[in-house]
């Protein structure tokens, strides 16, 4: 089904995509089920110059058609700068929307067009790229084309998420990504296995030891033991972040926000450790927009927070105060479906946060499959059960599969309700790569093409589902 389409110059056009530059009109349309960009020269004298750099097929009468390729996406971003990502982490509220399938942005646009939260429509980690067989070109282009099609001109970001190497940072930045989430975890020591404690250099003793740091209503004091631990666990991570910053962020070649991610670690980031990392980075001249600490409790994929909410509240109060006092924002990763802590996050950060989601957008797409094509859903579900063990290599979840209802005993109408079951959510959540890439004996995809076909026909449902489900995230984050 085509949404908001109209007849325009003889094409089945997306109404909101109609844009003019001088006498040339550019818009998206469907030709035989395929979405393309139409370029129509309305002044016959200028007809030769109309295509504006696109790689095109000439349809005659001053009209040409450009396919949705990476090269044409690059041209589109130049011609219409609002289709290119911009920096926005400096805004009070920002929100990351990992769209692993490249089809969620229209629904996200419906939601973010009406609020003051800066959206990061393109956000994917290398792990997700590998598991979905996508490239950063695809991820960015999907956002660009959706923004053009929907006429969304408020600005959006693109996040190279959880990048660990110079090569990957350069890859994302060279394509125009406007945010880099630097994953420092390879340089963070596991404090549970530290045995030796090296002597603390005097420069750190003078700076921190037994000094009192007043952060709003809190005071932080570093004992010798705590300071030693900060140094052993985080010193290398600080050096790594500084080296990346100096290489890519200081000469003005790229224009992007930097997020420091220290969340994928074996132990919780204490407020002292958070403060230490931030101070050391700032003293090394590193300017960053956000830090993602590892909070207490568990932020498992695609389900609500697991842990002591009172403890979480106590700790995020201090983390948020540290971030405010040093002038950056807290970033909350694995933010999908953390409904019980969203009000706390919104309140304690005083409405200044970055929250990332990804898997929940995929789960909503699969919920649509359960509604629209129970037969296909049952096939995918059964397959997921067989590969769950393998998928656990990539994602840490605690789901006990014995809690998943036997789908052979479930009526079709009750299949969507499975997505209210945490174990089913985690089952489907972490097996996405294996589901999408699974092939039949003849080499064709077992599910991928059928799924995308269905999602194409179910665009309205998926948009509505995202508006409702991500909307619930935003509402709770704004509730104080
Ligand atoms: Zn993370």
Instruction: Please name the residue that has the structure tokens 């909307």.
Output: 471
> Half-sphere exposure of 159 toward its Cβ, with a 13 Å CA cutoff?
36
Concerning whether 379 is annotated as a catalytic residue, the answer is: no
319-375, pLDDT tens digit by residue?
999 999 999 999 999 999 999 999 999 999 999 999 999 999 999 999 999 999 999
408-467, pLDDT tens digit by residue?
999 999 999 999 999 999 999 999 999 999 999 999 999 999 999 999 999 999 999 999
Is the model's pLDDT at 107 over the cut of 60?
yes
Of the candidates 41, 110, 159, 161, the residue annotated as catalytic is 161
State how far the Cα of 66 lies from the Cα of 322, in Å rounded to an integer.
50
- Range ranked top by mean pLDDT from 10-14, 390-394, 398-402: 10-14
Range 80-99 average pLDDT = 98
Is the model's pLDDT at 404 over the cut of 80?
yes
State how far the Cα of 76 lies from the Cα of 66, in Å rounded to an integer.
10
Residue 63 bridge partners (DSSP): 40, 60
Of the candidates 159, 168, 183, 259, the residue annotated as catalytic is 259
Is the model's pLDDT at 49 over the cut of 80?
no
Can you give the pLDDT at residue 194? 67
Is the model's pLDDT at 48 over the cut of 60?
no
More confident residue, 183 or 195: 183
288-307, pLDDT tens digit by residue?
999 999 999 999 989 999 99
Is the model's pLDDT at 46 over the cut of 60?
no
**260, exposed or middle or buried, with CB in 10 Å at 0-12, 13-18, 19+?**
buried
Is the model's pLDDT at 47 over the cut of 70?
no
| CB-based burial, 46-75: b 16+ in 10 Å, e otherwise | ebeebbbebebeeeeebbbbbebeeebbbb
245-255, pLDDT tens digit by residue?
999 999 989 99
Can you give the pLDDT at residue 398? 83
Specify the pTM.
0.95
CA of 159 to the centre of ligand 1 (A): 12
Are β-strands 5-8 and 11-14 bridged in parallel, bridged antiparallel, or unpaired? antiparallel
State how far the Cα of 6 lies from the Cα of 25, in Å rounded to an integer.
15
CA of 123 to the centre of ligand 1 (A): 12
Given 3-state DSSP classes, what are the helix, strand and coil percentages for the chain, each rounded to the nearest 5? Answer: 45, 20, 35
Concerning whether 161 is annotated as a catalytic residue, the answer is: yes
Confidence band of 96 (pLDDT split at 50, 70, 90): very high
Residue 30: phi and psi, rounded to 5, are: -105, 125
Confidence band of 266 (pLDDT split at 50, 70, 90): confident
State how far the Cα of 350 lies from the Cα of 135, in Å rounded to an integer.
36
CA of 275 to the centre of ligand 1 (A): 18
Range 90-106 average pLDDT = 97
Do residues 90 and 256 touch, judged by C-beta distance below 8 A? Answer: no
57-69, pLDDT tens digit by residue?
999 888 999 999 9
Counted residue by residue, the chain has a size of 480
Count of beta carbons in the 10 Å neighbourhood of residue 144: 28
CA of 387 to the centre of ligand 1 (A): 24
Do residues 300 and 335 touch, judged by C-beta distance below 8 A? Answer: no
Is the model's pLDDT at 399 over the cut of 90?
no
Residues 6+ apart with CB under 8 A from 367: 416, 419, 465
CA of 334 to the centre of ligand 1 (A): 6
Can you give the pLDDT at residue 2? 44
CA of 181 to the centre of ligand 1 (A): 9
Confidence band of 400 (pLDDT split at 50, 70, 90): confident
């Amino acid at each position: 089904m085509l949404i908001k389409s109209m007849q325009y110059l003889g094409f089945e056009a997306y109404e909101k995509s109609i844009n003019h530059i001088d006498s040339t009109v550019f818009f998206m349309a469907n030709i035989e089920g395929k979405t393309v960009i139409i370029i129509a020269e309305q002044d016959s004298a200028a007809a030769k110059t109309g295509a504006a750099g696109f790689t095109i097929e000439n349809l005659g009468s001053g009209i040409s058609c450009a396919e949705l390729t990476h090269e044409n996406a690059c041209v589109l971003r130049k011609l219409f700068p609002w289709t290119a990502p911009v920096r926005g982490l400096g805004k009070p509220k920002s929100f990351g929307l990992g769209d692993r399938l490249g089809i969620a942005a229209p629904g996200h646009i419906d939601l973010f067009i009406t609020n003051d939260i800066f959206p990061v429509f393109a956000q994917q980690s290398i792990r997700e790229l590998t598991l979905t067989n996508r490239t950063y070109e695809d991820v960015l282009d999907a956002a660009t084309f959706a923004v053009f099609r929907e006429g969304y001109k408020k600005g959006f970001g693109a996040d190279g998420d959880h990048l660990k190497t110079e090569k990957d940072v350069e890859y994302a930045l060279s394509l125009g990504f406007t945010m880099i989430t630097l994953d420092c975890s390879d340089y963070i020591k596991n404090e549970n296995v530290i045995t030796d404690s090296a002597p603390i250099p005097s420069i750190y003793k003078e700076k921190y030891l037994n000094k009192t740091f007043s952060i709003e209503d809190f005071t932080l004091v570093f004992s010798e033991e705590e300071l030693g631990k900060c140094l052993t666990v985080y010193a290398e991570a600080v050096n790594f972040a500084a080296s990346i910053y100096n290489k890519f962020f200081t000469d003005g070649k790229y224009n992007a926000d930097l997020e420091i991610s220290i969340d994928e670690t074996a132990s919780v980031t204490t407020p002292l450790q958070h403060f230490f990392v931030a101070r050391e980075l700032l003293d090394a001249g590193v300017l960053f927009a956000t830090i993602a600490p590892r909070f207490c409790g568990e932020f498992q994929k695609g389900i609500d927070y697991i842990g002591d909410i009172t403890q979480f509240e106590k700790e995020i109060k201090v983390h948020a105060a540290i971030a405010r006092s040093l002038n950056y924002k807290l970033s909350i990763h694995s933010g999908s479906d953390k409904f019980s802590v969203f009000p706390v996050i919104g309140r304690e950060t005083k409405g200044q946060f970055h929250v990332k989601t990804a898997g929940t957008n995929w789960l909503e797409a699969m919920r649509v499959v359960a509604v629209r094509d129970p037969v296909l859903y049952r096939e995918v579900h059964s397959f997921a059960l067989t590969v769950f063990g393998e998928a656990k290599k990539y994602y840490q979840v605690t789901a006990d599969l014995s809690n998943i209802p036997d789908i052979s005993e479930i009526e079709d109408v009750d299949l969507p309700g499975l997505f209210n079951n945490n174990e089913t959510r985690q089952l489907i959540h972490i097996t996405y790569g294996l589901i999408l890439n699974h092939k039949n004996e003849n080499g064709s995809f077992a599910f991928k093409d059928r799924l995308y076909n269905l999602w194409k026909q179910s665009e309205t449902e998926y948009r509505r589902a995202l508006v409702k489900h991500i909307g619930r995230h935003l509402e709770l984050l704004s509730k104080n």
